[in-house]
Amino acid sequence: MIAILKKELWSYFGNWSAWVIIAAFSLITTLFLFFFENDSNIFDIGLASLQSYFVLVPWLLMFIIPALSMKTFAEEQQTGTLNWLFSQPIKISDLVFGKFFSVWIVGILCLIPSVIYYYTVFVLGVPEGNIDSGMTLGSYFGLIILIAAFAGVGILASSLSQNQIMAYLLGVFMCFIMYFGIEQLASYKLLGGADYILQNLGFYSHFLAFTRGLIDFRDVAYFVFVIGLSLALSNHFITKKK
């Protein structure tokens, strides 16, 4: 698995694709948080809080993580190198986990520049340091585990697809449904008491708990289950192609 992880990380950072994605992600969040007039602008909100960042970022990750994961298996199959990997003494599970961790790591690195946002809000707060650090740390933890969930879904989409474009579109669609689609369906209250169950099937309600500074075992267990299920299904579909 370590060999696959190193190979994948090199493929991201060796051709500058990861650096471009991280830079673009940081630029977009900076513009929305400090320059563009919108509901996420920290100066317009007038609160010493990064909550607008944690509302904005999942929507960006919904498009960025599938872009990172689309090549994991779809490209290997498109170029014919998947059959070569099958001929090597590598377990399919190691292949899946190695590619998953590489996407997860690059996704986490996208968050590193936001430390500057925290410092900025910390210094500009009245009084200085007037920011809820506990809530902020909980939100970061939520983002890290949400990235893992998006990565798992993206890997699954790539394992199902024959080419990268289809893998990307399917990945974005699946991430959108899991994060926002299920939540919206539940909000219509068409199923009575079952709406609560439907709501808890999506990412949004579980991620929202983290943004309040609450790290609940049930929310962590939910994401671990989703990630595990996505990777198990990916392992199954890749094994069928062997």
DSSP string, 18-32: HHHHHHHHHHHHHII
Q: Could you tell me the pTM of the whole model?
A: 0.93
The pLDDT tens digits for 50-107 are: 889 999 999 999 999 999 999 889 888 887 787 777 778 889 999 999 999 999 999 9
Tokens for 40, please give them.
């996420």
How distant, in Å, are the alpha carbons of 53, 75, 162 from that of 82? 38, 8, 11
Separation between Cα atoms, residue 82 and residue 109, nearest integer Å:
27
**Mean pLDDT, range 146-166, rounded to an integer:** 94
What's the burial of 180, exposed, middle or buried (CB within 10 Å: 0-12/13-18/19+)? middle
Domain with 120, as residue range(s), is: 2-241
Residue 233, pLDDT > 70, answer: yes
Over residues 100-118, the mean pLDDT reads 95
Q: Count the neighbouring beta carbons within 10 Å of the beta carbon of residue 169.
A: 14
Contacts of 14 (CB under 8 A, 6+ apart): none
* 125-150 confidence digits (pLDDT tens): 777 777 888 889 999 999 999 999 99
pLDDT band with cut points at 50, 70 and 90 for residue 191: low
CA distance 197 to 108: 30
What pLDDT, on the 0 to 100 scale, is given for residue 65? 97
Give the number of domains in the chain.
1
Helix 217-241 / helix 133-160 crossing angle, nearest 10 deg: 20
The per-residue pLDDT of the chain, averaged, comes to: 89
